[in-house]
Amino acid sequence: MTPIIAPSLLAADFANLQRDIELVNASDADWLHLDIMDGHFVPNISFGVPVCKAVARHARKPLDVHLMISRPELYLETFQQCGANSISVHYEACDHLHRVVEKIKELGCLAGVAVNPHTAVDLLKDIIDQVDLVCLMSVNPGFGGQKFIKNTYHKVQELRKLIESRDSKALIEIDGGVNSQNALPLLNAGADVLVAGSFVFNSEDPLRTISDLKKVPA
């Protein structure tokens, strides 16, 4: 399977945001990943609704919106109206996860659930057949450029087994520290979507970097 590549805008140059969006448009990337942080659920503030709207005006790739925020259910419709094609909420942030997933679907978006590095994938067993995407955090959420957590390989394998056992169609997305060294092992473990931020935007040739990730054989 050819991997889905989703460059993370968190690592883009915000003084030249349109330029970097156009770069992704011209690349082999499949999605554009947007990390929304509130400074409460995670210890950082990234960007919110106005930036998301601005991105949507220029992006020609589907917007993969990752809500690293408390009470995400209050903002689902807002981000859908901003142009989100998929919306992922954190397992740890939702008291009524099933209700939130259903709402995302009602809005016409792909519904994703994100889990922090310490969260066991087995906790998703009662929702896995109802989600379109599971985003495994392979770093502690909140900041870009962190070191990849190697236990992620094991979690991908566990999650793949759970997906298959429940006849789920959910994609496995990896977010954090993805690079040319771990891309192939992640895909071999069962991952479908690779989010790459610093590795793409800090490279000498981002277009080539995206292309190389896209060509990684699984």
100: CATH: 3.20.20.70
The answer to the question of residue 47 being in a domain is yes
Q: What are phi and psi of 146, to 5 degrees?
A: -85, 165
Q: Look up the domain containing 191 and give its range.
A: 4-213
Q: Which of 20, 35, 38, 64 is catalytic?
A: 35
Known catalytic residue at 35:
yes
CB 119 within 8 A of CB 92: yes
Q: Which of 30, 132, 175, 192 is catalytic?
A: 175
Query: Token pair for residue 98?
Result: 């099933």
Sheet with 133-137, edge to edge strand ranges: 4-7, 193-196, 171-175, 133-137, 110-115, 84-90, 63-68, 32-37
Tell me, what's the pLDDT at 218? 53
The answer to the question of residue 160 being in a domain is yes
Tell me, what's the pLDDT at 103? 98
With tokens 């991105």, the residue in question is 55
Digit-coded pLDDT (tens) for 120-130: 999 999 999 99
What's the rounded Cα separation, in Å, for the pair 175 and 168?
Answer: 21
The answer to the question of residue 218 being in a domain is no
Instruction: Give the total residue count for the chain.
Output: 218
Tell me, what's the pLDDT at 112? 98
Query: Token pair for residue 79?
Result: 């981000």
- How many independent structural domains does the chain possess? 1
Tell me, what's the pLDDT at 143? 64
- CA nearest to 69, candidates 107, 109, 42: 42
Query: What type of residue is 99?
Result: R
Tell me, what's the pLDDT at 144? 62
Q: What are phi and psi of 174, to 5 degrees?
A: -110, 125
The answer to the question of residue 173 being in a domain is yes
The answer to the question of residue 112 being in a domain is yes
Given a cut of 70, the residues of the chain with pLDDT beneath it are 142-146, 218
pTM attached to this predicted model: 0.95
Which helix (H) or strand (E) segment holds residue 158: the answer is helix 152-165
Known catalytic residue at 30:
no
Tell me, what's the pLDDT at 72? 97
